[in-house]
């Protein structure tokens, strides 16, 4: 098990990198068809653009609506890419994902549920339907080395773990970004002409809001964390922080509502300063801003009685809770 050597992209070498990757994709796919999935994050956005440069309409791009995305995300992402001349098909897979999450509570088991549903059930079928032999995906170096180090088995890492996607899912996977970390992916995204709201977008994990729910992922619990996420993203969007999020805890705590005891929900806010996600420190947010966030969440998210801010650095913490 070995990760690739890192390549750091700058304005100087980014053009050459694009040409090389486009050439590679073209030569591997030949006159065939490939598919890929957009999650709305910068990694999959970049892979979509590289794939389209290489294959044009022979790359079929899907936005898999797994029910655990942020508010309005499928339509938002589709519109951004339509403006880039790239057509995206939104695929409703909510039922499949929520069925797979039933009764699943452990972090790695959740990732495995996402992996199997996404790669086997959804993409297995799409590959057969479209005649594609390849899936293009945006795995980056940090995903791989956290998986190899045994910190988190990121949902999108296979070959480095000795898993052959052809055998496991029935297709091959091409990963043009495995030598890059997030800061280089952003340089690449800008060079590929993606708008700033994509290349400067905070990272968002493939397993989406499932990585921000402690315990079982149900529709109701996703709705709660989704509402809190919208509030946190809106309030913290101008901080320049690397990533910020709302977490739904499993434990309930005593609060009060309408003069009565309410054994209610806890939301944790996390906001990180980081360059490439390997290490991160909690952003020194003004107390006033934290208080405003708490008030907005208590008002806007039904059932919440406690709001906390994480102040532990990575390591030993990690960016997501799952
Ligand atoms: P952690 O939580 O390990 O996260 O400190 C490091 C970076 O990776 C993102 N992340 C994921 N991305 N699949 C992904 O595609 C995953 O399973 C996954 N888990 C974490 C996280 O958002 C952060 O930017």
What is the residue-wise DSSP string for 165-183?
Answer: HHHHHSSEEE-TTTT--HH
Residue of 108, 110, 205 with the most ligand 1 atoms within 8 Å of its CB, for mutation: 205
Say if residue 169's pLDDT is above 70: yes
Tokens 């293009």 belong to which residue? Answer: 136
- Of 241, 239, 223, which Cα lies nearest the Cα of 67? 223
CA of 205 to the centre of ligand 1 (A): 5
Mean pLDDT of the chain: 95
- Of 164, 142, 189, which Cα lies nearest the Cα of 40? 189
Residue 247 is predicted with a pLDDT of 98
| 38: Cβ contacts below 8 Å, ≥ 6 apart | 44, 45, 48, 61, 62, 63, 77, 81, 88
Ligand 1 pocket list (CB less than 6 A): 111, 142-143, 146, 152, 154-156, 203, 205-207, 211, 243, 277, 314, 318-320
Say if residue 308's pLDDT is above 90: yes
Second CATH level (architecture) for the domain 218-309 = 2-Layer Sandwich (3.30)
Say if residue 268's pLDDT is above 90: yes
Does domain 9-199 correspond to CATH entry 3.40.50.620? yes
| 264: Cβ contacts below 8 Å, ≥ 6 apart | 252, 253, 254, 255, 257, 303, 304, 305, 306
d(CA 29, CA 132): 9
Residue 159 DSSP SS3: helix
Q: How many CB atoms lie within 10 A of CB 282?
A: 18
Per-residue model confidence as pLDDT tens digits over 106-154: 999 999 999 999 999 999 998 888 899 999 999 999 999 888 888 888 8
Say if residue 2's pLDDT is above 80: no
Atom of ligand 1 nearest to the CA of 320: 2
pTM beyond 0.85: yes
Here the tokens at position 29 are 């796919």
Backbone torsions φ then ψ of 26, nearest 5 degrees: -60, -45
CA of 191 to the centre of ligand 1 (A): 24
**Minimum CA distance residue for ligand 1 atom 3:** 318
**Minimum CA distance residue for ligand 1 atom 20:** 205
Atom of ligand 1 nearest to the CA of 39: 15
Per-residue model confidence as pLDDT tens digits over 90-115: 999 999 999 999 999 999 999 999 99
For the chain, the structural domain boundaries read 9-199, 218-309
Per-residue model confidence as pLDDT tens digits over 269-285: 999 999 989 999 999 99
Out of 14-18, 85-89, 129-133, 193-197, least confident range: 129-133
Strands 260-273 and 253-257: antiparallel
| 70: Cβ contacts below 8 Å, ≥ 6 apart | 40, 204, 208, 209, 226, 229, 230, 233
Residue 1 is predicted with a pLDDT of 63
Say if residue 79's pLDDT is above 70: yes
**Minimum CA distance residue for ligand 1 atom 4:** 319
Out of 27-36, 121-130, 180-189, least confident range: 121-130
* pLDDT, mean of residues 11-20: 97
């Amino acid at each position: 098990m070995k990760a690739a050597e890192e390549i750091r992209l700058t304005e100087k070498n980014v053009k050459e990198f694009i040409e090389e990757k486009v050439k590679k994709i073209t030569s591997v796919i030949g006159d065939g068809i490939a598919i890929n999935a957009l999650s709305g994050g910068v990694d999959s956005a970049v892979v979509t653009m590289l794939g389209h440069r290489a294959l044009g309409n022979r790359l079929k791009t899907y936005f898999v609506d797994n029910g655990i995305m942020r508010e309005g995300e499928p339509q938002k992402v589709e519109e951004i890419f339509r403006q880039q001349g790239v057509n995206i098909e939104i695929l409703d897979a909510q039922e499949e994902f929520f069925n797979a999450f039933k009764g699943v509570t452990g972090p790695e088991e959740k990732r495995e549920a996402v992996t199997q549903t996404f790669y086997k059930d959804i993409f297995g079928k799409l590959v057969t339907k479209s005649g594609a032999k390849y899936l293009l995906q945006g795995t980056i170096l940090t995903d791989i080395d956290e998986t190899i180090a045994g910190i988190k088995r990121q949902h999108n890492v296979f070959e480095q773990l000795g898993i052959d996607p052809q055998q496991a899912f029935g297709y091959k996977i091409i990963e043009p970004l495995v030598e890059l970390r997030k800061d280089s992916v952003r340089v690449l995204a800008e060079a590929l002409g993606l708008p700033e709201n994509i290349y400067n977008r905070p990272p968002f994990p493939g397993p989406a809001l499932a990585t921000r729910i402690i315990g079982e992922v149900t529709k109701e619990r996703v709705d709660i964390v989704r509402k809190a996420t919208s509030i946190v993203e809106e309030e913290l969007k101008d901080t320049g922080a690397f990533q910020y999020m709302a977490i739904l805890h499993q434990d309930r705590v005593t609060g009060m509502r309408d003069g009565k005891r309410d054994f209610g929900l806890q939301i944790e806010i996390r906001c990180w300063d980081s360059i490439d996600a390997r290490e991160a420190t909690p952003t020194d947010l003004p107390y006033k801003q934290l208080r405003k966030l708490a008030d907005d969440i208590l008002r806007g998210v039904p059932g919440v009685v406690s709001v906390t801010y994480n102040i532990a650095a990575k390591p030993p913490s990690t960016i997501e809770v799952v």
